[in-house]
Structure 1
Amino acid sequence: MGINDFCFACSSDDSQEYCTYDNPTFPIGENCQYSLMFILSRSSEIHHSPSFTNIEDLIERVISHETIHVVILQLQDRDTSDKLDDLEIVYTFGAGRPHIIRMNYLGYADDNTGLVTSTL
C-alpha cells in the first residue's frame, strides 16, 4: 500500500499547481498501489513558465504526505483521507502573533512527514 509511481497532468481550471494521489495503478493482492500526481497549472503551461520550481527541496515531504493520505484511504475512506488537508494548527511568530495554517503546508513541516505538527 502506498505510492509506487508518479505522473504529470495539467489542471483544466485556474488553480495553481499542486500534488495529489489517485488512480490505483494496479492491485497487488488486496492492496492497491497509487500514483503521485503532479498537477501543473494551466496558466504556467500556456505561458511556458515552469511549475513546481524548487520541488527537489520538498519531494520527500510530498511523497510522505500523499502516502499518509493513501494509508488513511485504505483504513477509512476518501472523505476521511481528504480531511487531513483541512486540519489547522496555530503557529506563533515573532512577538507572539498567531497565524492559523493548514497541517499540509509543507514548507512549515518539522520533518519529512509533510505534516506541520508543532509550533515554532
Structure 2
Amino acid sequence: MGSFMSARVRWVPDEERTHCADCGKKFSLLVRRHHCRRCGDIFCKQCANVFRKIPELEVTEMVRVCNRGCDIAYDDGVYSSVGSAVPARTASPVSSVGKSKKKSKSKAVTSSSDLDFGGL
C-alpha cells in the first residue's frame, strides 16, 4: 500500500472520515472505506470503482482511484486534463452509447475485481 505513495499525496487516515468524501454515504460494516491511490481521500465502493495506472506517481500497477476526477484516462503517461490538481470529470471512461437508461436490479459478477470481500 505505502510503497507506491508519493509525498505529493496525503493519505487520509480512516479515523478522519466517517462518510464518503464524494457522495456523503456513512461508512459501516456494509459500506466499506476505499482510499483513492491518486488523491489519498476515502470513498465508498461506488465512488472509487475505477482502477488505473498513475504514471505521474510512478505507479505502474492498476490501483483504485476515485470517480471524482482521478479516474480520467492518461495518454502516453500524460495527464489528459489541464487545470486543477483534481480536475472536474469531463468524460466517462466507458461509453454509454447503446446502453439502456433502465437500471437492472441485479448485477452479474464478471471478474474477480467485481468482488469485495472486505479485506478477508
TM-score (norm 1): 0.27
Higher strand share: 1
**Taking CA–CA contacts closer than 8 Å with sequence separation of 6 or more, which of the two structures ends up with the larger relative contact order?**
1
Taking structure 2 as the reference length, the TM-score comes to 0.27
Higher-Rg member (1/2)? 1
